[in-house]
Amino acid sequence: MHSILASTDYTSPEVLVGEERRLFRRLWILAGFRSLLDAPDAFVTHRIGGIPVVVQNTADGLKAFVNQCAHRQSPVQNADFGQRRLACPYHGWVYDDAGRVKSVPGNEANYGFAAGTIATLHLKPVALRVVGGLVFVNLDSDPMPIDEQFHGPFLERLEAVTGVVGDDALFAKFDGAYNWKLNFENVIDWNHVPFVHASSFASLMPTLRPAAPGERPASPPPVPDDAIEDDLRELSYEARAPFDFQAWPWHEAVERCTETGEYLNLFIYPNVNYVVMAGVVHLIQQFCPITPDRTEVRLTMALGRRKQRLPAAPAILWGQLKAEKRVIDEDVAVFEGLQRGFHDGTPRAYHGAYEYRLRRVAKVYRRLMEAA
């Protein structure tokens, strides 16, 4: 069965503009771990659907705004993460907890704004929702209820799994020369693991080792296209697999959410793979489109909440992130080769039975992209 997506869906600037408007500015998009925003004035910045966003911990709780100053549109916060009051670095305008302009330095001498004028100036607010240990934002002026995007039991799993995340964390980001959709399609495609990650990840995954001839399970029956639901909520789901993790003594120092020998994925449509390793290492992988053939990959790795002192936390996280990056690089090499090959005569992907989840993603994607 051919995919309903064509290579132009992965290369066209017009398609990306549609995705920004119809997916990234309409859906609930993960902003990051709540635990990293616990301190007063802690913030994280993002670019969602082409729009810069800041999530800031104010005295009035977590708030999200379009990260553009009401004066001349400079970002109010520049770093990916930080701790700094809401004040624009360009000409020093200061904002209050609701994003309203609180002070304009040198107003009388330079601007001459009446107090009533200043009272009308503010940052554009963005909807925000905390789910367990995660912060989601939605750029729509009339955001869809979050349970129209995610099934209730999935939201409950997100709450339970991420509720244990602590504030030991590392963040890294890099650009890859490929379309963001290839990344989401890949994380839900377990069949690539024994091939792409044969000497890294796959060796630790007993259920994914290449089967010996004769012990291959029969392939699942194909799911006819009209039996594939186009329910957005079906695109976010949980997968668990046994994994040969070694149990380290430090595992007992942090709160856990699964058994040691388990690898857990929470796929969060449209652009997140949430991973928990051994129940104690949490990883957010975000695939953020920059151009049709450029994706920013944001990795935030965190440990479960500390139950006792863990001075080695930074070293542990660094080792884990390096190992993870090696695995991701194996995927990126595939995506970049695939993307480079796209041209106007590229045929559509040809799917087998196990790829019905990819077909479901494409079906919902088409529906969202075609919605008025």
Q: Give me the residues that bind ligand FES (CB under 6 A), please.
A: 69, 71-72, 74, 88, 90-93
Binds 139: which of Fe ion, ligand FES, none (CB < 5-8 Å by kind): none
Between 185 and 331, name the residue whose CB sits nearer to Fe ion: 331
Between 307 and 326, name the residue whose CB sits nearer to Fe ion: 326
Let me know: does 202 contact 291? Beta carbons within 8 Å.
no
As given in the structure block, the two tokens for residue 275 are 């991973």
Binds 154: which of ligand FES, Fe ion, none (CB < 5-8 Å by kind): none
Smallest distance, ligand FES to C-beta of residue 62, A: 22
Instruction: For the segment 33-62, give every residue that binds Fe ion (CB under 5 A).
Output: none
Binds 331: which of Fe ion, ligand FES, none (CB < 5-8 Å by kind): Fe ion
Smallest distance, ligand FES to C-beta of residue 37, A: 23
Smallest distance, ligand FES to C-beta of residue 91, A: 3
Q: Rounded to whole angstroms, how far apart are CA atoms 22 and 29?
A: 12
Binds 100: which of Fe ion, ligand FES, none (CB < 5-8 Å by kind): none
Smallest distance, ligand FES to C-beta of residue 359, A: 47
Between 109 and 212, name the residue whose CB sits nearer to ligand FES: 109
Residue nearest to Fe ion (CB): 331
As given in the structure block, the two tokens for residue 203 are 């060796």
Binds 74: which of Fe ion, ligand FES, none (CB < 5-8 Å by kind): ligand FES
Smallest distance, ligand FES to C-beta of residue 156, A: 41
Between 92 and 337, name the residue whose CB sits nearer to ligand FES: 92
Let me know: does 24 contact 49? Beta carbons within 8 Å.
yes
As given in the structure block, the two tokens for residue 226 are 């009209």
Between 21 and 91, name the residue whose CB sits nearer to ligand FES: 91
Let me know: does 260 contact 145? Beta carbons within 8 Å.
no
Q: Rounded to whole angstroms, how far apart are CA atoms 158 and 237?
A: 10
* 19 lies in the binding site for Fe ion (CB under 5 A): no
Q: Rounded to whole angstroms, how far apart are CA atoms 355 and 188?
A: 9
Between 88 and 275, name the residue whose CB sits nearer to ligand FES: 88
Query: Could you give the string, one character per residue 238-277, with x where binding to Fe ion holds by CB under 5 A and - elsewhere?
Result: ----------------------------------------
Binds 254: which of Fe ion, ligand FES, none (CB < 5-8 Å by kind): none
Query: Could you give the string, one character per residue 325-354, with x where binding to Fe ion holds by CB under 5 A and - elsewhere?
Result: ------x-----------------------
Between 73 and 291, name the residue whose CB sits nearer to ligand FES: 73
* 324 lies in the binding site for Fe ion (CB under 5 A): no
Q: List the beta bridge partners of residue 240.
A: 264
Q: What angle do CA 106, 64, 364 make, to 5 degrees?
A: 145
Query: Could you give the string, one character per residue 272-311, with x where binding to Fe ion holds by CB under 5 A and - elsewhere?
Result: ----------------------------------------
Between 92 and 314, name the residue whose CB sits nearer to ligand FES: 92
Between 69 and 278, name the residue whose CB sits nearer to ligand FES: 69
Binding site for Fe ion (CB under 5 A): 331
